[in-house]
Amino acid sequence: MSEYRLEMREVVKTFPGVKALNHAQLKLRPGTVHALMGENGAGKSTLMKCMFGIYHMDEGEVIYEGEKVSINGPLDALNRGIAMVHQELQPIPERSIGENIYVGRYPVKRFGPITVIDHDKMYEDAARVLKEVHLNYDPRAKLGTLSVSQMQLVEIAKAVSADCKVLILDEPTSSLTAAEVEALFTIVNELREKGVSIVYISHKMDEILRITDEVTIMRDGQYVGTWNAKELTTDFIITKMVGRELTDLYPKRENVPGEAVFQVEDFTSINPKSFRHATFSVRKGEILGVAGLVGAQRTELMEGLFGLRCHTAGRIVYKGKELNINQPKDAIDNGIALLTEDRRATGILGVLSIADNVSIASLNQYLIGGIMLDDGKIEKLVQDNVAKLSIKTPSSKTQIQSLSGGNQQKVLISRWLANDPDVFIMDEPTRGIDVGAKYEIYCIIAELAKQGKSIIMISSEMSELIGMADRIMVMCDGRVTGFIDGKDANQENIMALATQFE
C-alpha cells in the first residue's frame, strides 16, 4: 500500500483566538526515526495530542496502516500500537515499577465471575520488558525509589512494552544523564531495526542529527517541510524553524538607554533545579529581552525577583538601594511591576469588571477620607487608559473575561501603570494575541521605554526579541548563559546560547 505507516493530513485545530494547527501534516515510515522540530508554540505537542485523540481535530485526518482512523484517547492509541512517552512524567511513586508499567491494562485472571489482577504474570512481563530495554530494576520495587531520570527510562520501557508500531518520544532526554542518553539511543536503534516508526521531538540539535533519519519542521502551526537528516545542518534547521521576514512588525523605537538602575546579583532559587546565580542589570529606558527554551526558568527567575518565589541567595539593588523583597507587595511598593505569563491564571480577575481590574493594585490612590473609594476617580482612571492604550470595551463595568486577549492584556498593563512603576517585567506580553493587537502592545512598550522606564521582556518568539530588545539576556536550564546586543542579535546566536546545556 502506502510507504507510510502513519499519516496526518491537513490537520487544523483552533483554540479561542489562536489557530494552533494550520494544515499541519506528518508522514511516518516504518523503521524510521523521524524528528519533529519547531520553536515553542509551533504546534508539535498539539499535533501529537490530535493524533492521540486528546484533542479533537477541527479538520484533517489520520491514516494508520492504510485506513482512516479516529483515535479516542491514549488507551485506544496504545491498543492500536501507538505509544507516547510524555515530557511530563505521570508516575505513581507509591506503586511498584511493574504496576506503573501496566497501569490501565493489568493482565488479569478469571475465577468464574471474579476477575483479579494476575500479579505474577505482570511482574514476569515487566521483568522481560525491562530487560529488553537493558534496565536491571526489580519490577517489584517501588517506583519512587528511582531517580527522575530512571523513572523516565521506565516510562520509555512502558511505551516499548506495549509492542507498539509507532512510538512518540517527547523531549526524552530532558532528564537523562549522558550515559542514560546512550542507553536510550541503543533502545531507539533496536526499535528501528524492528521496524517501529519513532517520532522524536527535541530541541537538541546534536541528538537530532545523530539519531534521526528524517526531520519535519513546523512553524506557527504550519508544516514547513521534511528533509533527510543527513542533508541538514544546525543553521539550516534554525533558519527554517524561525525564519520570518522582519518586516514592519515592530515600531520604530526612540528610547535612549541611560545608566543601569536595576541590578541583580547571584540570584539563586530555593529550589536547586530552578534559577541559580543569575546576575544582570537593566538600564533606565532600556528594553531587556530574555530568551530561552521552555524550562530555562525565565519565568521563575522573574517571579523570584517579584517576591512570588523564594530565593536563598542573591541581592537586588535598585537605584543604589538594596531591596528586600519577600512578597509581591514589597516589589510593588518599590516600583516594580510584573505582567504574568498566563493572564488567565494569574493576571485577570475574570468575573470582575474592567474598572475593578484596572484599579485593584492602586486602590490607595482613590480614597475619600481615607476609607471610601472614589468611584469617579476610578472611572476617570479607566477612561484615561482606555483612550491612551486603545482598549476596546463597551463599558468600564464589562467583565474583563469577555474581552479579547489583546484588550485584556492592555487592561493589565493599565493596572500596573496606575502605580507608575520604574521597572516593568513582562512575561510573554503578546502571547495568544492577534497580530494587530501585538503591534499596539509593541508601541506601548516602546513608549514606556522612551519615558525612561526599564522593561524586562521575556519572549519565546525570536523575531519579537530581535525586533524589540535593546539587549537580550539568554538563559538555559536555570543559568544566565550570555548577553547579546540588540543590533548583533540573530536567531543563530540566540539559539546557541539557549541550548548551552552543561
Partner 1 sequence: MEKKSSFNVVKFMSDNAIILLVLLLALFTGLTSKNFFTTRNFSNLVINMSPRFIIACGVSGCLITKGTDLSAGRQVGLAACLSAMLLQSVDYSARMLPWLPDVPVWAALIAVVVVMGIIGAINGCVIAFLKVPPFIATLGMQTIVYGACQIITNNQPMGGFKSSYSNVALGSFMKIPYLAFFAVAVGAYFLFLYNKTRHGKYMYAIGGNESAAQVAGVNVVATLIRIYLLAGMMYGLAGFLVGAKAGGASTATGFGYELEAIAACTIGGVSANGGVGRVSGILVGVLVFEALKICLQFLGVDPAYTFIAQGLVIIVAVALDLRKYLAKK
Partner 2 sequence: MDEEKRPRESDRPDRSQLTGIENFYENFRKVPLKYLDLFIGLCVAALVLVIALGILNR
Distance in Å from the first CA to the final CA of the chain:
46
Q: Is 349 in the site for partner 1 (CB under 8 A)?
A: yes
Q: In what order do the strands lie in the sheet with 197-201?
A: 82-85, 166-170, 197-201, 33-37, 214-219, 222-228
Please identify which residue in 56, 329, 380, 450 interacts with partner 1, judged by CB under 8 A: 329
Contact segment (CB under 8 A) with partner 1 among 17-25, 294-302, 340-348, 480-488 equals 340-348
Distance (Å, whole) CA 114 – CA 199: 40
Q: Are 439 and 467 in contact (CB under 8 A)?
A: no
Q: Is 302 in the site for partner 1 (CB under 8 A)?
A: no
Nearest distance from residue 88's CB to partner 1, in Å?
20
Please identify which residue in 114, 230, 364, 435 interacts with partner 1, judged by CB under 8 A: 364
Q: Is 501 in the site for partner 2 (CB under 8 A)?
A: no
User: Binding partner of residue 294 among partner 1, partner 2, none, CB under 5 to 8 Å per kind?
Assistant: partner 2
Which is nearer to partner 1, 361 or 472 (by Cβ)?
A: 361
Contact segment (CB under 8 A) with partner 1 among 224-232, 263-271, 276-284, 370-378 equals 370-378
Which is nearer to partner 2, 378 or 465 (by Cβ)?
A: 465
Q: Is 405 in the site for partner 1 (CB under 8 A)?
A: no
Q: Taking Cα atoms as reference points, which of 281, 263, 203, 266 lies closest to residue 476? A: 203
Which is nearer to partner 1, 212 or 299 (by Cβ)?
A: 299
Please identify which residue in 141, 270, 313, 373 interacts with partner 1, judged by CB under 8 A: 373
Which is nearer to partner 2, 171 or 422 (by Cβ)?
A: 171
Residues 6+ away with beta carbon under 8 Å from 409: 339, 343, 429, 430, 433, 437, 441
Compute the half-sphere exposure of residue 55: CA atoms within 13 Å on the CB side of its CA: 21
Neighbours of 357 (CB within 10 A): 24
User: Binding partner of residue 87 among partner 2, partner 1, none, CB under 5 to 8 Å per kind?
Assistant: partner 2
Q: Is 87 in the site for partner 2 (CB under 8 A)?
A: yes
Chain positions 423 to 452 lying near partner 2, rule: CB under 8 A, are 428, 431-432
Q: Is 363 in the site for partner 1 (CB under 8 A)?
A: yes
Contacts by residues 72-77 (CB-CB < 8 Å, ≥ 24 positions apart): 75/104, 75/105, 77/51, 77/52, 77/53
Please identify which residue in 52, 55, 366, 424 interacts with partner 2, judged by CB under 8 A: 55
Nearest distance from residue 316's CB to partner 1, in Å?
17
Cα 408 to the center of its chain, rounded Å = 21
The runs of H, that is alpha helices, within 421-474 are 435-450, 462-468
Q: Is 342 in the site for partner 2 (CB under 8 A)?
A: yes
Q: Is 41 in the site for partner 2 (CB under 8 A)?
A: yes
Please identify which residue in 1, 351, 387, 435 interacts with partner 1, judged by CB under 8 A: 351
Our CA dihedral for 416, 422, 426, 429, rounded to 10 degrees, sits at 70
Q: Is 294 in the site for partner 2 (CB under 8 A)?
A: yes
Nearest distance from residue 340's CB to partner 2, in Å?
12
Distance (Å, whole) CA 454 – CA 271: 28
# chain residues binding partner 2, by CB under 8 A:
25
Q: Is 332 in the site for partner 1 (CB under 8 A)?
A: yes
Contact segment (CB under 8 A) with partner 1 among 113-121, 139-147, 278-286, 356-364 equals 356-364
Contact segment (CB under 8 A) with partner 2 among 12-20, 28-36, 244-252, 305-313 equals 12-20
Q: Taking Cα atoms as reference points, which of 33, 56, 354 lies closest to residue 194? A: 33
User: Binding partner of residue 329 among partner 2, partner 1, none, CB under 5 to 8 Å per kind?
Assistant: partner 1
3-state secondary structure of 238: helix
- Write b or e for each residue in 170-184: b if 16 or more Cβ atoms lie within 10 A of its Cβ, otherwise e: bbbbbbbeeebbebb
Nearest distance from residue 361's CB to partner 2, in Å?
22
Please identify which residue in 12, 89, 260, 352 interacts with partner 1, judged by CB under 8 A: 352
Nearest distance from residue 254's CB to partner 2, in Å?
32
Q: Is 376 in the site for partner 1 (CB under 8 A)?
A: no
Please identify which residue in 2, 346, 395, 451 interacts with partner 1, judged by CB under 8 A: 346
Distance (Å, whole) CA 192 – CA 382: 61
Distance (Å, whole) CA 212 – CA 32: 8
Strands 367-368 and 372-373: antiparallel
Cell numbers at 246, concatenated: 522582519
* Cell 522540530 belongs to residue: 37
* CA dist list (Å): 214 to 123, 134, 165, 183: 36, 26, 17, 21
Q: Taking Cα atoms as reference points, which of 457, 439, 448, 438 lies closest to residue 414? A: 448
Q: Taking Cα atoms as reference points, which of 482, 421, 473, 425 lies closest to residue 451? A: 421
Q: Is 350 in the site for partner 1 (CB under 8 A)?
A: yes
The C-alpha angle 46, 273, 500, rounded to 5 degrees, equals 70
Which is nearer to partner 2, 242 or 418 (by Cβ)?
A: 242
Binding site for partner 1 (CB under 8 A): 306, 308, 328-329, 332, 338, 340, 345-352, 356, 359-361, 363-364, 367, 371-373, 375, 415
Binding site for partner 2 (CB under 8 A): 15-18, 20, 40-41, 43-46, 49, 54-56, 87-88, 294-295, 341-342, 344, 428, 431-432
